[in-house]
Structures are given as structure tokens and as C-alpha cells.
Amino acid sequence: MSFERKNIAQMRGYIPGEQSVVEGVIKLNTNENPYPASPLVADTLAGIQVGDLRRYPLPTADQFRKTAAQIHQLDPLNIIPTNGGDELLRLAITTFVDEKETITVTKPSYSLYPILTKIQNCSLKEISLSQNFGLPNNFTDLIKKTNAKMCILVNPHAPTGSLLTMSFINELAESFPGVLVIDEAYVDFVDPSEKYNCIPLVKKHNNLLLLRTLSKGYSLAGLRFGYGIADPSLIEPMMSKTRDSYNTDYVSQKLATAALLSQDYAKNTWDKIRWSRQDLMRRLADLGLTPFPSQTNFLLTQVPEEVDASTLYNQLKQKNIFVRYFNEESLRDKIRISIGSKKENDVLISSIKDILGK
């Protein structure tokens, strides 16, 4: 006899990227930052005393909220700290979407969105991207027809790396009657020439919720710390009603604050990743693979038919190089490669050359 709720029993759980404890594995499959967190983060960690852990942390992580608000030129009431960006997604759905109400996402997109939708027993409407992974021209009309309570868009997009403009998001927030969640997990890697910055829009639209994480741009994937940016009318019910009482721990609050205070250091790593992104695109293209233009720290890469993406993925894995393969429609002939360090990228290119016999 199963005690699971019916909708839970019928669903499939989220499948994360492979992890490995084997020495020497090159992990280019989960979009981690190849550079360590800042020296200030290291110093802060070294200064934490075990006695500090006997008391509960500040439930509202006030120092982090103040720091984030200063950096983004907002009020702390615009900020909610969360246990990774994924907790923010769960909080938003739990707080704002009733069972049977509809959540709209694109297809393909971050595979956790459908999972969280099913956990809440909501209806999911997926709008397919074009062959080149662009939004349909009538996307705004399509989401209106779904009568969705929430729309979740990852921008820059995963797994393709493409970027929606600030003006498009502004127009969408104006026309969409529900909660618009923009998952900006990879926003730190956007080329500054794009002049992309949606933070001012939260002062204009009370239905816009931006997701940020310290996992990618701040090299803290192992810490599990994220935050939301929105009008206080969206933040307050999540902070006071649906959030776990102590959802971020003492150590995480200290290190996350130190990471945000290390803006110059973080921006330097973003610049290096952008340079490596362009270099890796060129080197993959020279081997006959076709990376899609990307504003993230990964490249979705078309694999020639004669090679087969699944085979290339497995052969790289045999060489202790992990990349990501998605066995789903429109992605089966592609692999996703995280931007690694120069040494890791060199080994990747050398291994692909060996596999292809070039």
C-alpha cells in the first residue's frame, strides 16, 4: 500500500546532473563556476567559530538582505533569501498558484519547472520554442490563452543560452495578468554590451519576480543560496507565511553576504568565463560541432549526425569528462558543455579530437 498522494505517485522526480567523487573527473555538466569563491568568502569561512552554530540564525537574514538591496539599489523589503534558487521557485508556486491552476513554461526549459508544478498538483502548459529555440512571435497571445496564473521563463535560457531583451520582459510583465517569474540564474554571464538589467522593472511591475543564485556567478554551488527580487507585495507573503522558519543557515548567510561584497572579484571571473566561452565556441566549430550563441556559462552544441550526440557523451564520460546529454525532443542531437578552466577546456577539445579521429 502506498501513502503517496496520487499526483506524486504518478510523477517522475527531478534528475540532476551526474556527480562524481572520483579524482581527476572533469565536470562540465552542471554549469558550475571553474574559479573558486572570493578570498573574502574564504576569510569569512575561516572566521566562523563552532560555538556560533549553537544558536539559530537570523530567520530573515537581515544583513544579506541589506547587502543585496544596496547592490541592486532597492529596499531590503524587495529581497527574499532562499535555500538555493530552487526553493524560491517552490515558494512562488506554493504561495501564488492554487491546485489545478495553470503554470506556463517553454519547451525545452529547466526540467525542474514541470516537477514543481506537478508537486503542487497544478496544470502545466508548455509552449514549444521554434526550431532555432526562439519564442513564437505570438508568445504573449499564447500565454494569455492558457489563462495561466504564473509564467516561468529562464533568462538567459537553459539549455540554449539565448537571451530575451529587457524590453520584451517589460512588455510581457505589462500584458500578463499573473505572476511572471524570470529565472536569472545565469544573468551574471551576460555580455555587458547587451545592457541587460531587469531589476528596475520590479519597481514598475508588482507581478514580476526575479530569481538570482550564488551558485553560478559567485562560485557557491555547494552552499545552496539564492534570492528573489520583487515588489514587497510578492515578497511579504513568502517571507511571512510560506517560507520555512529558518530557511537559510548561519554559515550560508555569512558566506553569501561576503560573496556579494566581493563584486570586483566576481566580475573578474565573469569576464574570464565570457572570454573562454568565445574561445571554446571557436574551437568546437573548428572540429565540426556547432555551438549555439550563448549568454551563459555553458554552450549547447549541435553534434553532426555521423557522430551521434549520445555516443559522444558516453565516450567523453569514458575519458572522465562529464558533459550533459538530454534524451528529449529537439535535444537528442546536442550536448551541453559547461565552460571550464583553460586546462579543462583544453583537455575537452583534445579528447573530442581523439574521439573524432582528427
Banded pLDDT at 23 (limits 50, 70, 90): confident
Residue 353 has pLDDT above 90, yes or no: yes
97 has a pLDDT exceeding 90: yes
DSSP track, 6-50: HHHHHS----PPP---STT-EE-SS---SSPPPHHHHHHHHT--G
Across 302-316, average pLDDT: 95
Tell me the domain boundaries of the chain: 16-36+264-356, 49-262
C-alpha R_g of the chain: 21
Question: In the predicted model, what is the mean pLDDT of residues 202-216?
Answer: 98
Query: Nearest 5°: phi and psi at 189?
Result: -95, 0
What distance in Å separates the CA atoms of residue 270 and residue 276, rounded to the nearest whole number? 10
Q: What is the mean pLDDT of residues 127-146?
A: 93
The neighbouring-strand residues paired with 105 are: 126
Q: What is the pLDDT of residue 149?
A: 98
What is the mean predicted confidence (pLDDT) over 73-98?
Answer: 98
pLDDT higher than 80, residue 120: yes
Q: Read off the pLDDT of residues 105-116 as tens digits, 9 standing for 90 and up.
A: 999 999 999 999
- Checking if the pLDDT of 1 tops 80, the result is no
Q: pLDDT tens digit string along 246-289?
A: 999 999 999 999 999 999 999 999 999 999 999 999 999 999 99
Calculate what percentage of the chain has a pLDDT beyond 70: 100
The CATH number assigned to the domain with range 49-262 reads 3.40.640.10
pTM for this one? 0.96
Instruction: Report how far residue 244's alpha carbon sits from residue 247's, in angstroms, rounded to the nearest whole number.
Output: 5
pLDDT at position 15, please?
Answer: 85
Q: What is the pLDDT of residue 19?
A: 85
In whole angstroms, what is the distance from residue 177 CA to residue 180 CA? 9
Instruction: Provide the pLDDT for residue 255.
Output: 98
Report the distance separating Cα 354 and Cα 358, nearest Å.
6
Task: Judge whether residue 177 has pLDDT over 90.
Answer: yes
Cα separation, 296 vs 238, whole angstroms = 28
Contacts of 153 (CB under 8 A, 6+ apart): 105, 106, 109, 164, 169, 180, 181, 182, 183
Distances (CA, A) of 98 to 9, 110, 353: 20, 22, 51
Strands 150-154 and 102-107: what pairing?
Answer: parallel
CATH of 16-36+264-356, one of 2.60.120.10, 3.20.20.140, 3.90.1150.10, 3.30.56.10: 3.90.1150.10
Say if CB 164 and CB 153 are below 8 A apart: yes
